[in-house]
Amino acid sequence: MTLEVLSALTGLARDGRLQQPDCAAMIAAYLDLPVTSHVTHPYARRIAALANRHSVYDAASVALAEGLGTPLLTTDVRLARAVATVPVVLPELS
């Protein structure tokens, strides 16, 4: 998840849609969150199987949700529609 957050924020900054100081502040705020990280190695085979239909990042999120028995939280409508193995939470963003 950390890599996806960093990728999204730095991509927005690189494209000029987010100012660099705001990007740095958002990264700092994210790093202050009480996030539980999970290693992906135990899910590698499932990730590889899902990577036939999804990016490796998306496949890792799906495999982790499956493994933990939790819903998948995403803002990616395409991913939400494609996943059938776990409940999906798709928040509306304004």
User: Would you say residue 38 lies in a domain?
Assistant: no
Residue 63 lies in a domain: yes
SS3 53: coil
CB atoms within 10 A of CB 12: 15
Residues 50-92 pLDDT 10s: 999 999 999 999 999 999 999 999 889 999 999 999 999 998 8
Q: Are 47 and 79 found together in one domain?
A: yes
Question: What is the rounded distance in angstroms from the CA atom of residue 16 to the CA atom of residue 12?
Answer: 6
- For residue 1, what pLDDT band results from cuts at 50, 70 and 90? confident
Q: Are residues 25 and 58 in the same domain?
A: no
Give the max Cα distance, the chain.
39
Q: Please tell me the pTM assigned to this model.
A: 0.75
- Asked whether residue 37 is domain-assigned, the answer is no
Domain with 65, as residue range(s), is: 43-89
- Residues 53 and 26 grouped into a single domain: no
What integer is the mean pLDDT of 7-20? 92
Assess contact for 66 and 46: CB atoms under 8 A: yes
Residue 52 falls inside a structural domain: yes
What is the C-alpha separation between 76 and 17, in angstroms, rounded?
Answer: 19
Mean pLDDT of the chain: 93
With a cut of 90, say whether residue 41 has pLDDT above it: yes
- pLDDT exceeds cutoff 70 at 93: no
pLDDT at 64: 96
pLDDT at 38 over 70: yes
Cβ-Cβ contacts under 8 Å for 67 (sequence gap 6 or more): 42, 43, 46
Number of domains in the chain: 2
18 belongs to a structural domain: yes
Q: What are phi and psi of 55, to 5 degrees?
A: -65, 160
